[in-house]
Structure 1
């Protein structure tokens, strides 16, 4: 159980980096509707990844 709990922040960071990489990849290539869709999904992925990364952070 402890091993799985330590992986969650790592998965959050990976999710954030993948989302930022995807938005960087489409920033100059592709139709505008595709870029906007990727940017919206990036915002959602960064928010979810942030919650996963900092879920045990004391308030």
Structure 2
């Protein structure tokens, strides 16, 4: 496997999409504290994905 230049932005997009799709499921969790913790974790995942995707576009 070579070092493809578009691998990092692709993984970043996957992370952001995973955070958005998982956020739909998190809204159905029964405990508010668990929802808040899950949303904070998803926010961190989406932010990391955003930074990975757009790090070279300045």
Tell whether the structures are fold-level matches, with TM greater than 0.5: yes
The runs of at least 4 aligned residues of structure 1 exceeding 2 Å deviation read none
* Deviates most, 47-56 or 23-32: 23-32
Distance 2:14 2:36 in 1: 22
User: How far off is 1:46 after superposition?
Assistant: 1.1
Which of the two has greater helix per residue?
1
User: How far off is 1:31 after superposition?
Assistant: 1.4
Match for residue 19 of structure 2?
19
Distance 1:16 1:29 in 2: 20
TM-score if structure 1 supplies the norm length? 0.82
Unaligned runs of 5+ in 2: none
Q: What do you get for the CA RMSD once the two structures are aligned?
A: 1.4
Unaligned runs of 5+ in 1: none
Alignment coverage as a number of residue pairs: 57
Within 5 Å, which residues of 2 pair with 1:1-59?
2-3=3-4, 5-58=5-58
